[in-house]
Structure 1
Amino acid sequence: MTTPPTVDVHAHLLLPDVEALVEGLPGLAEAKALDARRNGPAALAVNGPMVRERIPLLIDVTARLAAMDAQGVDVQLVSPSPSHYHYWTDEETAEKLYRLANEATAAHCSAAPGRLRGLGLVPLQHPHLLTAALGHALEQGLAGVEISSHAPGRELSDPAYEPFWTRAEETGALVFLHPFGCTLDERLDRWYLSNTVGQPTENAVALSHLIFSGVLDRHPGLKVIAAHGGGYLPTHIGRSDHAWTTRSDAGAGCAHLPSSYLRHLYFDSLVHDPSVLRELVRVAGPDRVLLGSDFPFDMGTRDPVGALRAARLPEADFDAVRGGNAAALLSLGVTP
């Protein structure tokens, strides 16, 4: 008998050098203004102190490892904070940014190679740079890359992304889908709706584009991990199935019932509700859900294993989600 390590696939890193790179560039002020409009003043007043008090956990490997020990987490898959996407940058800056982010993330993880694996960044706003950016991430020893739910003017179903999906499938790279910002904008600018409603909405929209456009038909070997349990889509997939079966426009792009594609995607466990987590495991399959905490931000959980245990899954499913599935994806060994 073997026991898989406990693996958290949703953990973040701050990269000060990336922010130094874009500081003062044309476009940054406009991007910050959009972020402010989307979140609203009350959320921004909370966000600043929240992030500042967590900076040691976000940049210091020793602090990260101590927190992992306290949580009972053996391995983290570390991805840059989505605030580092900066999809507004021009080509030259975007190339500098992804190289800097990939190299900095790899350096952070190399300080504890047995316990930290990393994901890089790619510039979704410049599709022709994506395969090179993915290749650079893999050359640094990273397991794949993190992307948002869309880029300005482009959904993930955009044909311009086909070479990227092809290369990700060929290399077996992980693609971590983590939204940043919601295009509902000021409608969500109070009560932190920009996150509580916006993030699961963006997840559902992005995954629907991948499903309904046929991206997953053309690239069945893609390893896409959706943050936040895939948002609203897994628990409301019946509406998608109904549309696919009754409307010619809804069923035109993908070959199979939308719900069937959930078993070709991966989802983290960060849904904040045991019953929702049980439903996610039911519809996606226990081999498609991975432990996730959103470490160390306040919208995550400080006890990801405890949150998983609260779902009262069968022991085999619990162990699979706790670490077995991620260990297989990351080719991690197991211990007796």
Structure 2
Amino acid sequence: MITVDVHAHVLLPEIERAVAGRPGHDAHRELDARRNGPHATAVSGAMIGERIGLLTRAGDRLAAMDAAGVDVQVVSPSPSHYHYWADPGLAAEVCRLAAAGVAAHVAQAPDRLSGLGLVPLQHPSLMTGALDDALAHGLRGVQISSHAPGRELSDPAYEPFWARAAATGAVVFLHPFGCTLDERLDRWYLSNLVGQPVENAVALSHVIFSGVLDRHPRLKLLAAHGGGYLPYYLGRADHGWRVRPDARGCAREPSSYLRDLHFDSLTHDPAALRELVRVAGPERVLLGSDFPFDMGDPDPLAALRAAGLADTPISGGNAVRLFDLKDPS
């Protein structure tokens, strides 16, 4: 059975060179530093330095995949490349560089690697063009964060993008970066440990309650980190939808939409993974590792075994269907 890791990242130095020194870049870096705190910022910098080969060299990546028993990776840009502060011209350039850079990385092992590009969430009018460019480079879709400054994923301005993604069959990979709880999470790496699952839950709630999935039932939306906190507190969402008329933005109970979404398996807990499979359905969960970051899982297949989910389509079959992949054998 083919094994496919749908949550893996590549670092693209050409993007960071393009944004360096541009108006807004320093403020963006200062905000990121405040949100994470000095200790986490230092630890993260050292961690990335130690893993730079895995993030940039296809040979190192393939060796690690072989060691983990992974046949195929779907590679997406490091979320640090979003740069949602950028003006329209720079934002378009970031997305062009992302599509070209990921495509070049994938081309080094096209039987083992597939890829995703970026779209500029801060400029909705540019998103369909960036999506089309990613697809023209042979990529399978795009990666987005949980929000852009002043815009949630429920924003009507995103409707053309959702429609285009659904029409083309492109996968939209929801992967948060940063958390708007800001300095409340600036110690003990809470910006990631707590902030990322919060951002997943908030973003998915905006998508569900606003009716995006009602209007675009063919949309292929894949959520990182097992969907964050959302899958584990659905009763409250359903209750609110039933008793509050102002919560009726979607056509049916919110919990039912989990079977219209897709999730990676990166929950770090066998019981949580089993619960995700229960509420979303086994055909909606895909193997994901967050390769090669320290918050990832270097042995994602072991996590499936620990949850009693080995030898299921979660290990690869669901990804083959969602991304329309070919078996490298």
* Fold shared, TM-score > 0.5 on shorter chain: yes
Residues 1:230 and 2:227 are matched in the alignment: yes
Residues 1:307 and 2:303 are matched in the alignment: yes
Look up the SS of the partner of 2:173 in the other structure: strand
Displacement, 1:334? 4.3
Residues 1:199 and 2:199 are matched in the alignment: no
Q: Describe the superposition over 1:57-101 as per-residue Cα deviations: whole angstroms up to 9, x where unpaired.
A: 000000000000000000000000000000000011111111011
Displacement, 1:157? 0.3
Return the TM-score normalized by structure 2.
0.99
Select 1:269's aligned residue among 262, 265, 272.
Answer: 265
- The residue aligned with 1:297 is 293
Select 1:181's aligned residue among 178, 181, 187.
Answer: 178
Structure 1 unaligned residues grouped into runs of 5+: none
Structure 2 unaligned residues grouped into runs of 5+: none
- The residue aligned with 1:256 is 252
Supply the distance in 1 between the matched residues of 2:208 and 2:257 (Cα, whole angstroms).
Answer: 7
- The residue aligned with 2:154 is 157
- The residue aligned with 1:333 is 326
2:111, 2:328 within 8 Å by CA — same for their partners in 1? no
- The residue aligned with 2:139 is 142
Displacement, 1:333? 3.3
Look up the SS of the partner of 1:77 in the other structure: strand
The count of residues paired between Structure 1 and Structure 2 equals: 329
Supply the distance in 1 between the matched residues of 2:29 and 2:326 (Cα, whole angstroms).
Answer: 43
Supply the distance in 2 between the matched residues of 1:92 and 1:149 (Cα, whole angstroms).
Answer: 22
Look up the SS of the partner of 1:249 in the other structure: helix
Displacement, 1:332? 2.4
- The residue aligned with 2:99 is 102
- The residue aligned with 2:216 is 219
72-81 vs 92-101, which deviates more? Answer: 92-101
Displacement, 1:167? 0.2
Supply the distance in 1 between the matched residues of 2:53 and 2:135 (Cα, whole angstroms).
Answer: 27
Which letter maps to 2:286? L
Look up the SS of the partner of 2:167 in the other structure: helix
Select 1:28's aligned residue among 25, 28, 35.
Answer: 25
- The residue aligned with 2:57 is 60
Select 1:322's aligned residue among 296, 315, 325.
Answer: 315
- The residue aligned with 1:246 is 243
Supply the distance in 2 between the matched residues of 1:209 and 1:121 (Cα, whole angstroms).
Answer: 20
- The residue aligned with 1:48 is 45
CA-atom RMSD in angstroms: 1.0
Supply the distance in 2 between the matched residues of 1:241 and 1:188 (Cα, whole angstroms).
Answer: 29
Supply the distance in 2 between the matched residues of 1:332 and 1:168 (Cα, whole angstroms).
Answer: 17
